[in-house]
Amino acid sequence: MTPKVSVIIPVYNCEDYLSDCLDSILNQTYESIEIIIIDDGSTDSSGRIISHYKQIDQRIIHIVQENSGPSAARNKGISESKGTYLVFVDSDDTVETNYVEMLLNEMLASNADLVCCGYMDFSKTGVIKHSDFKLQHHHVLQTDMMEMVCQGTGGVLWSKIFKRKIIENNQLKLDQNLFMCEDLVFVLQYVTHCQSFASIPNYLYKYNRLNQGSISSNVSAAYIQNFITVWTYIEEIFHSVGGSTRMKAILAEKVQQITITLIELHSKELREKGFKKVTVNIKELLSNPYINAYKDAFSTKKYLYKPYIFLIKHQSTSLLIIYSVYISYLKEVKQKLTHREKVTI
């Protein structure tokens, strides 16, 4: 009997990219799929586009709900799914025509509980191929898999195939109170209930950064609280599997990454808020007990980021702002000068 795969797609105001996304799903070589599209209160023409495609293909299940965020939309998709296996696709992304088939074939062949594939990152400067999971065999330690999930974009829901029974049996849901890294928490929780893992080297998912707006024009206290909640989740998950020294180092690395990201976001507000206000905001950030608990473990092999670590440890707020602006300038120059790998689409 051919197993059914549920493809879950949350949609919110994605009229410019939605048709390309749905075309790539409808053209899958593996046909035993149900396509669950959750319209999360779109105010553009996304709803009409979905209705049009539903008339074309009866495998589409169109669910409309009040705007509640992507986590609520994905949770709704999970609860409505009937497939033995689940895959997630973002509505502004596309996939190769054999995306579902290759992930499913590997899952059936290896009897793995989670299978991952490579992806292509599309941005204004070109295309880069990524593979966050390179597994030499299926008997990977759970803690090693968790480490890979925490690196790169390993914590995203897309580019993976899941077993619905593992999600249902363990009542796994995305935390609807989180607005960043909620997928990382979900994937880590899922991994704790897995026995084996597999990956395929093919780059089957096309991640679209062309539709990415600024992460925030106003770094509020909500961002800090969001990440504290995420860090707390990760601590609890690591402890549940017998957190090792390496696990603590991974968590310190995540805290470090997010701390630097928030410093950079604050520094981008210089023109809007002025040096004095940005200085106050970064001082408040660095006084956070959670960051202080991990900052002694901060380290990096990247030459350009070593000053960040030094300045964070010494609470040198003004120099952090100046250095962050400098790094931002270097990144802009690099983007203009770098010719990234060209990929035939």
Per residue in 5-40, pLDDT tens? 999 999 999 999 999 999 999 999 999 999 999 999
Long-range Cβ contact pairs of 219-224 (< 8 A, separation 24 or more): 219/262, 219/265, 219/266, 219/269, 219/281, 222/179, 223/180, 223/262, 223/265, 224/262, 224/285, 224/288
Return the amino acid letter for 231.
W
Q: 124-163: per-residue pLDDT in tens?
A: 777 778 776 766 555 567 777 887 887 766 789 999 999 9
Question: Does residue 345 surpass a pLDDT of 50?
Answer: no
For the chain, give the mean pLDDT. Answer: 87
Please report the pLDDT score of residue 144 as a whole number. Answer: 77
Q: DSSP string spanning 5-42?
A: EEEEEEESS-TTTHHHHHHHHHT-S---EEEEEEEES-
So what's the architecture of 5-208 in CATH?
Answer: Alpha-Beta Complex (3.90)
* % of the chain with per-residue pLDDT over 70: 90
Residue 199 has pLDDT above 80, yes or no: yes
What type of residue is 18? L
pLDDT at 26: 98
Q: Which of residues 330 and 337 earns the better pLDDT score?
A: 330
Alpha carbon 121 to its chain centroid, in Å, reads 13
pTM, whole model, 2 decimals?
Answer: 0.85
Q: Per residue in 246-265, pLDDT tens?
A: 777 888 888 898 899 889 98
Per-residue DSSP letter, 217: S
Q: Are strands 114-123 and 126-130 parallel, antiparallel or unpaired?
A: antiparallel
Task: Please check the confidence at residue 49 and state whether its pLDDT lies above 90.
Answer: yes
- pLDDT at position 53, please? 98
pLDDT score recorded for residue 250: 80
